[in-house]
Amino acid sequence: MPMNPDLEKERQGGTFDVEQLTHILDGGRDKTLKRHFLEQEVLKDPVFRGPDTRFLSREELFGELLRKHVAVIKKTQELSIDDINEASTIYSAAMNNNVGPLTLHSVAFVAPLDLMADDEQKKKWLIPAKKYEIIGCYAQTELGHGSFIRGLETRADYDVNTQQFVLNTPTETAIKWWVGGCVAVGDIGPKFGFGGVDNGYLCLNNVRIPRDNLLAKTGKVLEDGTYVKPENPKVVYGSMLGIRAALPKVGAYNLSKAVTIAIRYSCVRHQSEIKPGCGEPQVLDYQTQQHKLFPLLATAYAFHTVGVWMLDFHSTVMNEINEGHYHRLAEDHVLAAGLKAVINWKTHEGIEICRFSCGGHGYSLASSLPVIYVNHVANSTAEGETVILLLQTAVYLMKCVIDLEQGTPLDPSVAYLDQSFSKSEQWCSDVDMHSLLKAIQFRSKKFTEYVSSFVKKELMATGNQQLAFNKHKVILVECAKAHTEAVIMNAFVTKVDEILQSNPSVGKVLSLLCQIYGVTEILAHSGDYIQYEYLRKIDLDNIQDQLFKLYTYIRPEAVLLVDAFDFHDEVLKSILGRYDGQVYENMFKWAKASPFNKQDQGTFRKYIQQLKQAKL
Ligand SMILES: CCCCCCCCCCCCCCCCC/C=C/C(=O)SCCNC(=O)CCNC(=O)[C@H](O)C(C)(C)COP(=O)(O)OP(=O)(O)OC[C@H]1O[C@@H](n2cnc3c(N)ncnc32)[C@H](O)[C@@H]1OP(=O)(O)O
Ligand SMILES: Cc1cc2nc3c(=O)[nH]c(=O)nc-3n(C[C@H](O)[C@H](O)[C@H](O)COP(=O)(O)OP(=O)(O)OC[C@H]3O[C@@H](n4cnc5c(N)ncnc54)[C@H](O)[C@@H]3O)c2cc1C
């Protein structure tokens, strides 16, 4: 199919090599080539062809995705793939923006076995689980409790005579609920999205399991019932930590898809007139459309950068823990918590902005933006609700203030809290990304000190830390967000500095995005900068001007920047986001193919005729 002339023109501009940026995003040329190979292994294999999942009922969708997920597993094994990124490539190429039915088995059942089973148990369960000879799930949440783990009611009473645990969900609120991939007792019913996963319920009534079913790499129960605590009790939370550490990159992936669709479509879509008689401009030429999408384009790159960094950091900490060193577990936990919370929340807001920036067609499943949205938005609740996780980060920051007062060295990711920040000079309208980072770190430091003063005062008055925290949860959450933004901007600036050395032209365009990210973040909290007398109104006016100027620099690069995400049309599965930009013809073809247009519903005759007969 010929290329849409608008997109053809967009691709003649630009100042950087798209393919080189794709290689950087993938982690090197070889990884790009391997990703292409794996995608083609899926896309050319007829077993992965099937009905358009957007036309399927819940039941049909589950069945079709389960069929495809089994094919993904077979393909992964056939190609001897054990790298999670490569396995995810095969998975994403097949799932059409859905979450597959066996995802929880991989991310929430196999992972804890790997983390907490001893060698015997690994032989017994981990090896067959990796071969899908046993299928598992992660049944923690109950009807009455999800966030508050210490409030869970399920019981495991040890019967010393039989060396067994007797499991019970003693109350209705104790029923295990939301358990992804749990086909034992029942499905919890239709959901907002996640149609590909059978989130189940599980009632336990005197279910007996052998003593050695308790994963025993860390804590264990001896034959006489004595509980041997793990060296570090917090490691039992490790299974959740693993998924949280991965979710920032999942957020970046989903936002990159949405931004690709919205920016390509905004170049194809012509609407209204700027100068009468001069034709309808591309909607991406409107400043308001740029103001919707370019900060999100910058955010997708920022989130990808920090998502890769978080996974590397988490993997290093897990290796240290495997060798018995727990000193970085706390930092890993609060980084994963803050990044998972902020990135997934801002991503689902961003996908929604991408959807309505495409007008009515964004609301159609033909765009796939609604599919991406409803499957992504769960990540702000699942694996740790946003506020719950931000409070974890906030409590850690309050401890950092005490450490500072006591002269205890801080973890590297919070070292800036110990830095002094000079008042900014007059910010002219081309402030660089390093100055923007300093400003964002300054705000986080000031906010942490401000919140800590309130919590301390409350603690003095009540002597109860939980009460003190509970009274200031709103500003504690804001403090955690401010710190997390400093972590994101720091990762982005560090990566762009590195790329400026290795590939100046790519680095330059990424530095523009980094500035857009930083300026957008500062303007979103401009009142704090005035209140802390770090910036003046003139400075804020100047960076507002800078933002609009940055949009003009990014405008000719925008399509190339989303092309660099390198989503194959069959992976993106969006008519608005097609690489060739042939939207209208394919929208019409897609609509005509809808089953709704295929069979005579019969309902018309059945009910409307009654109206006629009723002679109202
Ligand atoms: C071929 C296939 C390939 C596969 C490809 C896959 C592709 C990827 C597609 C991905 C699609 C998306 C998948 C997503 C699936 C999601 C499924 C969802 C699963 C779930 O939701 S599971 C259930 C999740 N539940 C929670 O997260 C509960 C949240 N609540 C808690 O964690 C705790 O209640 C708490 C932390 C809020 C409170 O804990 P507690 O009551 O004990 O009290 P404290 O706050 O004082 O904590 C005690 C100390 O422990 C430390 N701590 C807490 N948590 C952790 C942790 N996780 N790690 C380390 N340390 C932790 C605290 O800091 C405290 O420490 P202190 O020193 O004592 O202060
Ligand atoms: C798509 C999806 C898949 C899931 N898959 C699984 C799975 O496979 N296995 C599993 O075990 N669970 C699973 N879950 C459950 C998930 O882990 C919980 O929904 C999540 O932990 C939130 O807990 P909750 O539902 O009890 O919400 P609640 O904690 O009841 O939250 C309700 C509100 O209360 C607020 N709140 C609660 N506690 C506090 C507090 N201390 N301070 C301030 N505000 C508070 C929250 O911020 C929120 O606004 C899944 C959930 C979803 C949506």
Q: What is the DSSP string of 6-75?
A: HHHHHTT--SS-HHHHHHHHHTSHHHHHHHHHHHHHHHT-GGG--S-GGG--HHHHHHHHHHHHHHHHHH
* Per-residue CA distances from 11 to 554, 563, 564 (Å): 13, 9, 11
Residue 384 annotated as binding?
no
Residue whose C-alpha is closest to residue 440's, from 508, 514, 529: 529
| Distance of alpha carbon 568 from alpha carbon 36, whole angstroms | 9
Please say if the pLDDT value at position 606 is more than 60. Answer: yes
Residue range 540-550: average pLDDT?
Answer: 95
Check pocket membership of 140 for ligand 2, CB cut-off 6 A.
yes
Length of the chain: 616
Residue 446 has pLDDT above 90, yes or no: yes
Active-site annotation holder among 383, 458, 478, 485 = 383
- Neighbouring residues of 379: CB distance < 8 A, sequence distance ≥ 6: 247, 250, 251, 340, 344, 347, 348
- Is the Cβ atom of 433 under 6 angstroms away from ligand 1? no
What SS3 state is found at 30?
Answer: helix
pLDDT of 509 higher than 80: yes
Name residue, tokens 């025993």. Answer: 216
Give, using CA atoms, the residue closest to atom 40 of ligand 2. Answer: 388
Question: What mean pLDDT do residues 321-327 have?
Answer: 90
Mean pLDDT (whole number) for 448-477: 94
Both structure tokens of 524: 């979103």
pLDDT digits (tens, 9 = 90+) for 406-419: 999 999 999 999 99
Known catalytic membership, residue 323: no
* Ligand 2 site, residue 104, Cβ cutoff 6 A: yes
Could you tell me if 234 and 299 are in contact, meaning their C-beta atoms sit under 8 angstroms apart?
Answer: no
Higher pLDDT, 127 or 322: 127
Alpha carbon of 313 to ligand 2 centroid (Å): 26
Tokens of 480: 């955690």
For the chain, what is the radius of gyration of the CA atoms? 26
Report which secondary-structure segment, H or E, holds 411: none
The confidence band for 184, taking pLDDT boundaries of 50, 70 and 90, is low
Is pLDDT of 614 > 80? no
What average pLDDT is seen over the chain? Answer: 94
What confidence tier does 99 reach under pLDDT thresholds 50, 70, 90? very high
pLDDT tier at 609 (50, 70, 90 boundaries)? Answer: confident
Q: What is the pLDDT of residue 601?
A: 66
Question: How confident is the model over 505-513, as a mean pLDDT?
Answer: 98
Give pLDDT, residue 123.
96
| pLDDT, mean of residues 302-315 | 98
For 27, 39, 94, 250, 325, the CA distances from 42, given in Å and listed in that order, are 22, 5, 7, 20, 41
User: Encoding tokens for residue 549?
Assistant: 């100027």
The least confident of 9-18, 88-97, 597-606 is 597-606
Task: Please give the distance, rounded to the nearest whole angstrom, from the Cα atom of residue 237 to the centre of ligand 2.
Answer: 15
Give the residue from 520, 521, 544, 540 showing the smallest Cα distance to 530. 540
Mutate to test the pocket of ligand 2, among 178, 198, 239, 390 (most ligand atoms within 8 A of CB): 178
Express each pLDDT in 568-593 by its tens digit: 999 999 999 999 999 999 999 999 99
The helix/strand/coil state of 394 is helix
Asked whether residue 186 is marked as a ligand-binding residue, the answer is: no
Ligand 1 nearest atom to the CA of residue 240, by list position: 57
Q: Can you give the pLDDT at residue 427?
A: 73
Cα 37 to its chain centre, rounded Å, is 25
Is the domain defined by 428-563 classed in CATH 3.30.360.10? no
Over 70: is that where the pLDDT of 149 sits?
yes
Task: Say yes or no to pLDDT of 449 above 70.
Answer: yes
Measured CA to CA in angstroms, residue 9 lies from 178, 278, 532 at distances of 48, 18, 46
For 149-234, the fitting CATH number among 2.40.110.10, 2.40.50.140, 3.50.50.60, 2.10.10.90 is: 2.40.110.10
Task: Decide if pLDDT at 393 tops 70.
Answer: yes
pLDDT of residue 430: 74
pLDDT at position 186 over 90 = no
Cα-to-centroid distance, 146 and ligand 2 (Å): 4
**pLDDT number for residue 426:** 64
Say yes or no to pLDDT of 423 above 90: no
| Predicted complex: ipTM over 0.95 | yes
Round to whole Å and give the CA distance between 480 and 486.
10
- For residue 607, pLDDT beyond 80: no
pLDDT given for residue 424 in this prediction: 63
Class of residue 417 by CB neighbours under 10 A (exposed 0-12, middle 13-18, buried 19+)? buried
Instruction: List, in sequence order, the alpha helices (H) in 45-83.
Output: 58-78
- From the CA of 197, the nearest ligand is 2
Q: Which ligand is nearest to the CA of 146?
A: 2
Task: Answer yes or no: is the C-beta of 71 below 6 A from any ligand 1 atom.
Answer: no
Q: Is the pLDDT of residue 551 over 60?
A: yes
Percent above pLDDT 70 for the chain: 98
Please indicate whether residue 424, judged by its CB atom, sits closer than 6 Å to ligand 2.
no
Ligand 2 contact, 565 CB (< 6 A):
no
Tell me: pLDDT of 610 over 80.
no
Domain ranges of the chain: 149-234, 428-563
Residue 276's pLDDT band (cuts 50, 70, 90)? confident
Give the ligand with the smallest distance to the CA of 389: 1
On whether the CB atoms of residues 589 and 277 are closer than 8 A, the answer is no
150-173 average pLDDT score: 95
Q: What is the pLDDT of residue 274?
A: 84
220 φ, ψ to 5°?
-155, 165
Q: Are 136 and 107 in contact (CB under 8 A)?
A: no
Looking at residue 62, what is its pLDDT? 94
Residue 356 — very low, low, confident or very high, per pLDDT cuts 50/70/90? very high
Whether 181 has a pLDDT exceeding 80, the answer reads no
Say if strands 227-228 and 205-210 run parallel, antiparallel, or are unpaired. Answer: unpaired
